Structure 1
Amino acid sequence: MRLTYRAIIFVIIVLCVAGCASTQSKAPVQPHKRDLTKGSYYVVKKGDTLYAIGFRSGHGYKRLAAWNKIRPPYKVYQGQKLKLFRGTKPRKTQKKKKSNKKRSSISINNKKVLRLYWQWPVRGKLLRSFYQTGNKGIDISGRVGRKVRAAATGIVVYSGSGLVGYGKLLIIKHNYLYLSAYAHNRRLLVKEGQKVKKGQVVAEVGIGVNAKPALHFEIRKNGKSVNPINYLPK
């Protein structure tokens, strides 16, 4: 069958259009969401393209290619880990851990305790030293009725005369570490559970073990009697 001149021209045009359409590269489909703007890394999934990841992260495919050293034609593979930032890995801000250690309101250092927290409970001469009492506190002289003051701030945990050999006794708890005791008083002026301040009058001097007016004073650390002279000001 013979084709006319016009028919031949039509066939040539159709073939050219079809050939151009088959060789033209398809434009990538732009994703709809920017859902990777907050992440630092992204693992490539099946069907992902660098163009799509660049759009979703807001950085664009050229930046991602440069940051991840990907060369044209910018192919990525499934499972590939891409960083979504420039340079090295961002540093994580480390939160300071809270210390679980309890802090004493009284320093364990004797010098600091001496200067900041303790005072003599009564004015008087030292009648018996720590070693003369058998490592159980000291005896301080004083006239009967003289004011006895709290050596440091704390809470009264005992006020009574139930312990043999101590007469009317007062015990003050200063913190989880230290206690102070005031024995052989004529009168007790505070009650159990009462908070007292350093220097507050808590009792009155009575008669000591040698039938002389005196206050027996102890400082106990973790329940063990320590030499008060190492804590009291000179």
Structure 2
Amino acid sequence: MTVRRSLLCLTTAALLAACGSTPDAPPAGNGFYRVKSGDTLYRIARNHGRTVAELTRWNKLSDPTAITAGQLLRVSPPGTSGTTRPTSPTPSRPDPTPRPTPSPAPKAPAIRLAPPAQGKVIGRFDGNRNKGINYSGSRGSPVLAAAAGKVVYVGEGIRSYGRLIIVKHSEDYLTAYAHNETLLAREGDQVKQGQRIATMGDSGADQVMLHFELRYKGNAINPAPFLP
């Protein structure tokens, strides 16, 4: 059994070695080239001043990628003396130009915010699952405008936000206050920083809380750097 297994291993190794080598063959004649292991049609064409299309046509290749070691290829047009087209050595293809690293997003200009609630922070901004800061508190606790601005939305049109208020502070900045119990501000109201605009509740949430967002040009950004 051991002898048979050894013979099988030796036979397999020999076959693998044969696949990676070029069998002995007579040299190619003038105007021809014998394929070596590792050759590609593109490389052969380039080295002989030809194109892949020419070699494909002259050798009637159905698949230009399927050439094998030992195969004889015509590298000069049929009926010629076999001299290859004089060319200067073709430089190797440069590596593809790396894609430029995208420039970081411009930093948002500073806006000074006041805490919108007095509760404990129970959820922080991560840009994915949480696009703002969550504050705990008791039902009816005051929700305060984080900065002066104009109330541009009051309602329950976004189910996951519950009773929501949005305040516009400039052309670039908005703040949003979600899960309120009572909405005290109305659309169009001008509010001051620290003004009470709602009371804390659990609308659209599974606990009493305030979900607070800061948006710059429509994108949620981390409010923490702008809070005291």
TM-score with structure 2 setting the length: 0.50
Pairwise mapping of residues 59-70 of structure 1 onto structure 2 (< 5 A)?
A: none
| 1:151 equivalent among 146, 149, 158 | 146
| Deviation per residue, 1:120-163 (Å, 9 max, x gap) | 00011111111186241111111110011100000000001111
What SS does structure 2 have at the residue aligned with 1:193? coil
Change (3 A) 1:108 1:201: same
Structure 2 residue aligned with 1:206: 201
Structure 2 residue aligned with 1:184: 179
Change (3 A) 1:232 1:212: same
Pairwise mapping of residues 38-117 of structure 1 onto structure 2 (< 5 A)?
A: 108-110=108-110, 113=111, 117=112
The alignment-based identity, stated in percent, is: 44
TM-score with structure 1 setting the length: 0.49
Matched, 1:216 2:211: yes
Larger radius of gyration: 1
| 2:125 equivalent among 127, 130, 145 | 130
Return 5+ residue gaps in structure 1 as ranges. 1-106
CA–CA distance in 2 between the matches of 1:219 and 1:171?
10
CA–CA distance in 2 between the matches of 1:228 and 1:177?
14
What SS does structure 2 have at the residue aligned with 1:207? coil
| Deviation per residue, 1:199-222 (Å, 9 max, x gap) | 110000001666221100000000
Matched, 1:196 2:223: no
| 2:223 equivalent among 197, 219, 228 | 228
Contact 1:208 1:215 in 2 (8 A): no
Contact 1:135 1:226 in 2 (8 A): no
Please tell me the residue identity of whatever aligns with 2:152: V
CA–CA distance in 2 between the matches of 1:129 and 1:205?
18
Return 5+ residue gaps in structure 2 as ranges. 1-106
What SS does structure 1 have at the residue aligned with 2:159? coil
Question: How many residues are aligned here?
Answer: 122
What SS does structure 2 have at the residue aligned with 1:199? coil
| Deviation per residue, 1:43-88 (Å, 9 max, x gap) | xxxxxxxxxxxxxxxxxxxxxxxxxxxxxxxxxxxxxxxxxxxxxx
